[in-house]
Structure 1
C-alpha cells in the first residue's frame, strides 16, 4: 500500500485551479519542482499504472479517477503529454477510457 499521508488532499481545489494543476503536471513532466505530495505521486505513478492501482487506497483510486477524467475532458493536451511519458505504448489507455464511460 502506498502512503495514505496525502489522502485528505482537496483534489477538487487542485483540478479547479489552473495554477495548482499546472504545477502538478509540471512536476510529473520534470518541468517544475514537485511539492512533497507531487513527488510521492511521481514516484508511485508508474507502478500504479502498471498494477491498475492495486496498492492504492480507496481514496487514492477515487482521486486518480477524478483527475484523469478532468484532464481528458478539460486539459486534453496535458493528458496527452502525461500519457506520452507514462504510457508511451498505450497499454493503459484503453482501460482508463473504458472506465470513463
Structure 2
C-alpha cells in the first residue's frame, strides 16, 4: 500500500499547476490603470470581499508562488505579477504591505519572489 500511496503523492506533486496568463486578462494595462480593479484583486487576496476569476485562482496559488519564487510560472504570469506588484506598491502601498504580511508575515519569501520577478524583467529586456 505504501508504494501506491507514495506514487500517488509524487504524481500529484509533479502535476503542472494551471496558471492563468496575461492572455486571461486581455489588457493588463487596462487593469492596472483602473485603481478600483487593482483594489478588487487585493480585497480578494486579503479575504475582504468575494473573489472573481482569475483573482480567486491567483489567491489560491500565492503561497506556492512565493515559496518557489514563481519558478514554475509561465513567462506571461511573471510579467503579470511584476506589473501588478509594481502598480500596487506605487498606488496602494499600505495594501501592498497588508498583502506581504498576510502571505509572508515572517518575511521569508516575498523579497526573494520580487527579486526573481525583477531578474526575469531584466532578462527579457536584455533579449531585445
**TM-score normalised according to structure 2 size:** 0.70
Gaps of 5+ in 2: 1-15, 120-128
**Correspondent of 1:12 among 20, 29, 53:** 29
Q: Secondary structure at the match of 1:36?
A: coil
Q: Secondary structure at the match of 2:72?
A: coil
**What does 1:1-101 align with in structure 2 at a 5 Å threshold?**
1-8=16-23, 9=25, 10-95=27-112, 96=114, 99=118
Q: Secondary structure at the match of 1:49?
A: helix
Q: Secondary structure at the match of 1:91?
A: coil
The answer for the alignment partner of 2:9 in structure 1 is none
Superposed CA offset, 1:47-97 (max 9, x none) = 001001122110000110111111122211110010010110111243226
Cα distance change, pair 26–77 in 1 and its aligned pair in 2 (3 A):
same
Q: After TM superposition, which residue ranges in structure 1, 4 or more long, deviate above 6 angstroms? A: none
Q: Secondary structure at the match of 2:50?
A: coil
**TM-score normalised according to structure 1 size:** 0.86
Give the superposed CA RMSD.
2.1
